[in-house]
Amino acid sequence: MFPSFLGRFSKDLGIDLGTANTLVYTKGKGIVIQEPSVVAVNTRNGQILAVGTEARSMIGKTPPHILVTRPLQRGIIADFEVTEKMLRYFIEKVHRDTSSIIQRPRVVIGVPLDVTEVERKAVADAVMFAGAREVFVVEEPVAAAVGIGLPISDAFGNMVIDIGGGTTEIAVISLNGVVTAKSIPIAGDELNRNIIQYSRDVFNLLVGERVAEEVKIAAGSAVPLSERLEVSLRGRDLLSGLPREIMVTDHQIREALSRSLKAIIEHVKSILEITPPELVADIYRRGIILTGGGAMLRGLDQAITQETGLPVRVADDPLTAVARGAGMLLENPGMLEIVALPSADKMR
C-alpha cells in the first residue's frame, strides 16, 4: 500500500528515445527535456563527461581519449551501457528538485515499428536500469497519433508519417492498431549525409555533420520556394586541404536531398497500395499527418500531395508528438493497456 501511495506523487514520464534527440514529457509540465541523444565518454576510465546539448557541442572537437557517441542508430540501441547512462541522466534531471522519497517513475517509451523482440527488451531494460519502476513500450506512430489528437480508437483510417533522425515510420492506424506500415532508414540523418556527399562531389568540400544539419535547416526544401534562400557552407577544401567557405542556394540543397525525399514518397505510395480500400477512402477524406523533426522540412507536405493526390498537413509542434503521446497514454490506462506492446517476459 505504501509504494502505491507514493506512486501518486511520482513524476511519470513519456519518453521519445530518438536517434537524434531525446524528449521527455511529464504531466502538468509538458516537454521538460529536449536534448540531442549524444554522450561524451572518457575512454581511459569510462566516465561520462557530458550528455545532450553539451556533448553535441563537442562533436569533432575532442582529443583521442574522449569519444562523442550517439548510442542509438536508426532508432535501435547500439550501445546499451551508454544508453542506460544517458536515460538515467535525463530521469534524474527531471526529478532533481523533488523529494528523495518520491517513487520511481512509470515510463511510456516509443520504439520504431520493426524492432525485434530482443531490441524491444533492450529498450525496456535500459529504462528500468536507468531508474524506472515500470515500463510500457509503444510503437512511435501510435504514440505520435495520440500526441496530435487523432481518434485512433475509431473505425477510421489515420495515416501518420513520423520522420525522425534515424528512421521514417509510415503507418495506417485504425481501432487502436497498426493496419499497414513500413519503417525505412531514410530520415534526418540520411538527409544530412546527402548534403555531405553533394558538397564533396560538386564543390570538393568536406563538411561535418553539424554543418550539414545547419544548412539543411536553414535552406532545405522539398519543392521550389517563392523566395530564394542562400546560406554559407564551411569546410575543408579537398584539393588544398585548407578551410574554405562557399555560398549555396536552396536549389542546390534541394538537389542534394531529392533522391532520399523521392524514396520516402515512393514508400508512402507503396503503403497506400496495400492498405484496404475502405481505409484509403478515409485517408482521402482526412489526409495524411506528418510528425517528427523531418516534417519541418519546407514544402515536404506539398511534395507528398503532388505525388499522391492526398491532402497532407504538418502536425502542430511535430517534433514533440511522440513524447506528448507517450505522456498522454500514461493518463489513459485503458488505452495504454490496448496499444502497449507485450513485454518479452509476458510473451514467454
pLDDT tens track of the chain, all 348 residues? 434 444 455 689 999 999 999 999 998 899 999 999 999 999 999 899 999 999 999 988 899 999 999 999 988 899 999 999 999 999 999 987 655 445 789 999 999 998 899 999 999 999 999 999 999 999 999 999 999 999 999 999 999 999 999 999 999 999 999 999 999 999 999 999 999 999 999 999 999 999 999 999 999 999 999 999 999 999 999 999 999 999 999 999 999 999 999 999 999 999 999 999 999 999 999 999 999 999 999 999 999 999 999 999 999 999 999 999 999 999 999 999 999 998 755 444
Packing angle of the helix pair 250-274, 300-308 (nearest 10 deg)? 50
| SS3 call for 328 | helix
Cα 136 to the center of its chain, rounded Å: 18
pTM, rounded to two decimals = 0.91
Write down the H helix ranges in the chain: 2-7, 53-56, 80-94, 117-129, 140-147, 188-203, 209-219, 250-274, 277-286, 300-308, 321-330, 333-339, 344-347
Fold agreement between 2-143+322-340 and 188-256? no
Burial class (CB in 10 A: 0-12, 13-18, 19+), 224: exposed
> Of 144, 124, 153, nearest to 136 (Cα)?
124
Q: CATH number of 148-186+262-316: 3.30.300.10, 2.30.29.30, 3.40.228.10, 3.30.420.40?
A: 3.30.420.40
Q: What is the pLDDT of residue 31?
A: 95
Tell me the one-letter amino acid at 67: L
The pLDDT, as a whole number, for residue 200 is 97
- Considering only CA atoms, which of 33, 31, 55 is closest in space to residue 42? 55
Provide the β-strand partners of residue 16.
23
Give the list of residues 6+ apart from residue 277 with CB closer than 8 angstroms, or none: none
pLDDT at 344: 52
Q: What is the pLDDT of residue 327?
A: 96
Superfamily of domain 188-256: ATPase, substrate binding domain, subdomain 4 (3.90.640.10)
Is 257:194 a contact under the CB 8 Å cutoff?
yes
Phi, psi (degrees; rounded to nearest 5) at 187: -155, -150
Q: In 10 A of CB 117, how many CB atoms?
A: 12
**pLDDT for 3:** 43
Q: What is the pLDDT of residue 75?
A: 83
pLDDT of residue 7: 46
274, 263, 275: which is closest to 304 by C-alpha? 263
Superfamily of domain 2-143+322-340: ATPase, nucleotide binding domain (3.30.420.40)
Q: Which three cell numbers stand for residue 114?
A: 520493426
Domain ranges in the chain are 2-143+322-340, 148-186+262-316, 188-256
From CA 4, how far away is CA 2, in angstroms rounded?
5
What would the grid cell of residue 179 be? 493496419
Give Cβ neighbours of residue 112 (< 8 Å, ≥ 6 apart): 74, 75, 76, 139, 140, 166, 167, 169, 183
CA–CA separation, 77 and 341 (whole Å): 17
The C-alpha cell of 260 is what?
Answer: 532520399
